Amino acid sequence: MIKVCFVFILLAVTTNLARGQASTPQFLFNKGHNYLIVNKLLAINYFTKAIEADSLFTPAYYYRGIAHFKSGEYSMAIKDFNQAYALDSSLNIIHMYKGYSYQHLGNNKKSLEEFERYMNSHSPSPLTYKVLGKAHYESGDYDKAIANFKQAMADRPDESERYYLFLALYDKGDYRAALEQINEAIKFNPDFYGYYLHKGNSLLMTGLFENAIKEYSQAVTLNPNVPDSYYLRGRALDTLNYHSDAISDFTSAIRLNPNDGTYYSKRGNAKFAMGNRNGACLDWTIADKLGYYEDFEKVKRICE
């Protein structure tokens, strides 16, 4: 009888200890951390309970911020990261997360500020230079972006670094230097059609239309289901007065995406250049109905 009572007492004590442990901030935090990958909503719930149990429990704010970030709730993430940083200013990685959060929210100024804070708190590395370069690029400061991307490439430049540097150079208008970088990116990934579109655009901007057409054709060969490949080649052909071939490409682009007014507009221009007024007016009218208003004056002047 004594033995049975002892077992009951032991069970009761163990149960009470388990219940007590289950309410501690650390236990609740651990539960949330376990769910962070598989169920972010449940993880957030446990992190919140940990914070309710201890309002100064820094890891719960930090990881709840990560859970919000990974769920696309960027404003909530920033709020948690701010609280975590207020409790522990050594968590400099928070600046990186906040930088990306502000970037997703479209606030490039705040994003850049956070990335620079992260950069200033660490010894520079290719990754931090790349991150800062992307932030400068998004804010439209191409010179600083180019400088950062070149710093990121100081060791062994990879494909993405070449590509980001290409984008900054292209948007700055330095098309010859951009060509060098896209050619290097192609060496890493020669089967990606998008690089050939970029290369074609760069060649087009330097006046090398025939060469641009070859690159667009390569993009079509690698992936024949991308309407912009036909559209871009069609524009180059039209510029060189190959109107019939241009119309064929614009028609292919329309077949793949019949809801882009730009394609109808340019096909209308090519038809008009070949003397097909009615066909041109029809395409311009369709473009107008799809929200592409560049040809509105043409419709009024030529078609009505």
Write out the two tokens for 291. Answer: 């929200």
| Mean per-residue pLDDT, 75-99 | 92
pLDDT at 205 over 70: yes
When the pLDDT of each residue in the chain is averaged and rounded to a whole number, the result is 88
Fold (topology level) of 191-304: 1.25.40
**Digit-coded pLDDT (tens) for 257-278:** 999 999 999 999 999 999 999 9
| Mean per-residue pLDDT, 283-289 | 92
pLDDT at 10 over 80: no
| Mean per-residue pLDDT, 289-296 | 82
| Mean per-residue pLDDT, 28-48 | 90
Write out the two tokens for 226. Answer: 């991308």
65, 84 Cβ separation under 8 angstroms: yes
pLDDT of residue 118: 85
| Mean per-residue pLDDT, 62-83 | 94
pLDDT at 213 over 50: yes
pLDDT of residue 22: 60
- Measured between alpha carbons, how far is 169 from 91 in angstroms, rounded to an integer? 34
Write out the two tokens for 29. Answer: 């935090």
Split at pLDDT 50, 70, 90, the class of 23 is confident
50, 38 Cβ separation under 8 angstroms: no
**Digit-coded pLDDT (tens) for 158-175:** 899 999 999 999 999 999
| Mean per-residue pLDDT, 229-253 | 97
pLDDT of residue 239: 95
3-state secondary structure of 36: coil
* 196 C-beta neighbours (distance < 10 Å), count: 26
- Measured between alpha carbons, how far is 18 from 202 in angstroms, rounded to an integer? 67
Find how far residue 218's CA is from the centre of its chain.
Answer: 25
- Measured between alpha carbons, how far is 177 from 21 in angstroms, rounded to an integer? 63
pLDDT above 90: percentage of residues in the chain: 65
Split at pLDDT 50, 70, 90, the class of 9 is very low
pLDDT of residue 119: 80
Fold (topology level) of 20-117: 1.25.40
3-state secondary structure of 257: coil
pLDDT above 70: percentage of residues in the chain: 93
pLDDT of residue 6: 41
* CATH 1.25.40.10 domain locations along the chain: 20-117, 123-185, 191-304
| Mean per-residue pLDDT, 142-149 | 92
* 298 C-beta neighbours (distance < 10 Å), count: 19
Split at pLDDT 50, 70, 90, the class of 18 is very low
| Mean per-residue pLDDT, 174-202 | 96
pLDDT of residue 21: 56
Fold (topology level) of 123-185: 1.25.40
* 255 C-beta neighbours (distance < 10 Å), count: 11
pLDDT of residue 121: 82
- Measured between alpha carbons, how far is 117 from 236 in angstroms, rounded to an integer? 45
Cα–Cα distances in Å, from 273 out to 2, 53, 213, 259?
106, 75, 20, 23
DSSP structural state of residue 301: I
pLDDT of residue 12: 43
| Mean per-residue pLDDT, 205-221 | 96
pLDDT at 4 over 50: no
